[in-house]
Structures are given as C-alpha cells and as structure tokens.
Amino acid sequence: MNYVMAFLFSGFICFLAQMIYDNSKLTPGHITSLFVVIGSFLDLFHIYDKLIEIFHAGALVPITSFGHSLMHGAMEATEKYGIFGIASGMFDLTAAGITAAILFGFLVAIIFKPKS
Amino acid sequence: MDRKEYDRLAEELKPGGHRVKNGLNAFLYGGVIGAIAQGLLEFFMNAYHCSEKDAIPMMTITLVFVACLLTGLGLYDNIAKHAGAGTFIPITGFANSMTSSALDSKSEGLIMGIGSNMFKLGGTVITYGIVSASLLGVIRYVFTLFG
C-alpha cells in the first residue's frame, strides 16, 4: 500500500510541474525554485508533515520536501537556540542530500567525460 | 494559404500538442522514482532497524548517487527526454543538475570550471529554499513568542 501511495503522490507532483512547464514559459529552474518555496510554506501549518505520514517516500522525493526540510530543521533549532537556530539549523535535515550531490557530482565530473 | 489556416497548422504542429502524453509520462516516471524511494526507505529501515526519519538520509544519498552515476554515463538525459518533470522534480533532478553543470564545465579547469560552475543550475533551489525558509521561519518564530 505504501508503494502505491508513494507512486501516486510523487507522480502527481511531477504531473503538476509538467503541466506548468508545458503551459508557460517557465524553465525547470523556475519550477523547481517555485516548488521549494511551496514546500517550505507547507511546513508553516505542519501540512507537509501530514503528507509525509500519508504518502511516505512519495512526499519525501519531490523537491518540495527540500523546502520543507530546510524550514523544519530551522524551526527545530529555534527551540534550543532561539532566533539564531534559524541559521544554524537550516541544513540539519538536508545536509545528507546536498553533501552527497556535491561529492558524487564532483567525483563523476572528475572521472567521466562530458557527452556533447 | 491564408493567415488563419497558417495559424491553425502552426498550432497543430507545436510541441505543446503532446501535453497529455507529456503529463502522463511525468506522472509515470515521477511515480516510479517515488516507489523506488519507498523501497529503499523500507530496505534501510529493516537493514539498520531504524525509524523512517533516520532512514530518509540513507534513501536520499542512494538516490543521489545513482542519479550522479547515470548522469556521468549519459543515461539520465536520455530518460529525462521522455520523463520531463518526472525527472527534474525528484531529488534526483537536483543531483543531475549539479553533476551535469560540473561535467560540462570540466574543460575550464578544476577551480574555474568544476568548482565554480557546479551550482550554476542547482544553486537557485538552495538560494530560494533558504530565503523562503528564513523569512517564514522568522515569522513563525515571532508568532510562537507571542502566541
């Protein structure tokens, strides 16, 4: 059941993005930026946490979850460090993804040749 | 051929005519990536006997690794041609944008090429993510102080 839910939600977000892409002049860069902002906004009322409870990986994989994780980490840290927590906790939950992307991206760029 | 007929023909031949197919493809590819992520999540939860929250970074790292590797092999772009938003919306699209920017600017050298161009496409996501999360975070923090 979790697989079906993950499939449906992840697919739905991608479908929405594709609709925006095909019906506007926005580039993938615009759309991913927009979705990240939406994701962090949805953390405001703990809506995204509910989505993760229901759809599991389906809500964790789209880029919207990146915005949610940034916001979530920042808010968790404010409980301990006050207003400074927003900056110090910002990457608490997204550190793994960004570190992995930089590291593996660098290694791939060193090892492989660019395809024209 | 008069102006009206030309406009009609142009409308038919526009790539936008495949909107339904594009939407369906994005749904299918994006959905499959979501289901694979669910599989990884459950695998790591069983393998390390941990909660879903602790398994999320492991799942993300694995997906990012696979996406970077596929980009290096030139396979990710082939999939992306069909998948559209199905491959640029998941976290794998972020990994792909970082890797392809780095790879494409390899010829400019290690520092001015790979080092400074890696975030050329993917950086926008981080910039706007941090700006929006900071602004909303400050608003919410102020509310918790008085609320």
Rounded to two decimals, the ipTM of the complex is 0.95
Listed residue (B24, B144, B30, B8) closest to B91, CA to CA: B30
Q: Does A89 touch chain B (CB under 8 A)?
A: no
Answer whether B26 sits within 8 Å of A18, measured CB to CB. Answer: yes
pLDDT in tens, B67-87: 999 999 999 999 999 999 999
pTM: 0.91
Question: Which 8-state DSSP code applies to residue A113?
Answer: P
- Subunit contact B52:A62, Cβ cutoff 8 A: no
Taking only the tens of pLDDT, chain B with its 147 residues reads: 677 777 766 665 565 558 899 999 999 999 999 999 999 999 999 999 999 999 999 999 999 999 999 999 999 999 999 999 999 999 999 999 999 999 999 999 999 999 999 999 999 999 999 999 999 999 999 998 887
**How large is the angle between the packed helices B52-72 and B19-47, nearest 10 degrees?**
130
Nearest CA to A72 among A53, A45, A106? Answer: A45
Q: In chain B, whose CA is at the least distance from the CA of A23?
A: B16
User: Shortest Cα distance from B3 to chain A (angstroms)?
Assistant: 24
- CB contact under 8 Å between A36 and B132, yes or no, is yes
Put simply, the answer to whether A37 touches B94 (Cβ < 8 Å) is no
Nearest CB partner across the interface for A17, out of B39, B85, B121: B85
A6 touches chain B (CB under 8 A): yes
DSSP A24-73: SS--HHHHHHHHHHHHHHHTTTTHHHHHHHHHTHHHHSBTHHHHHHHHHH
The list of chain A residues with pLDDT below 70 reads 116
> Structural domain boundaries of chain B?
18-122
Interface membership of B57 toward A (CB under 8 Å): yes
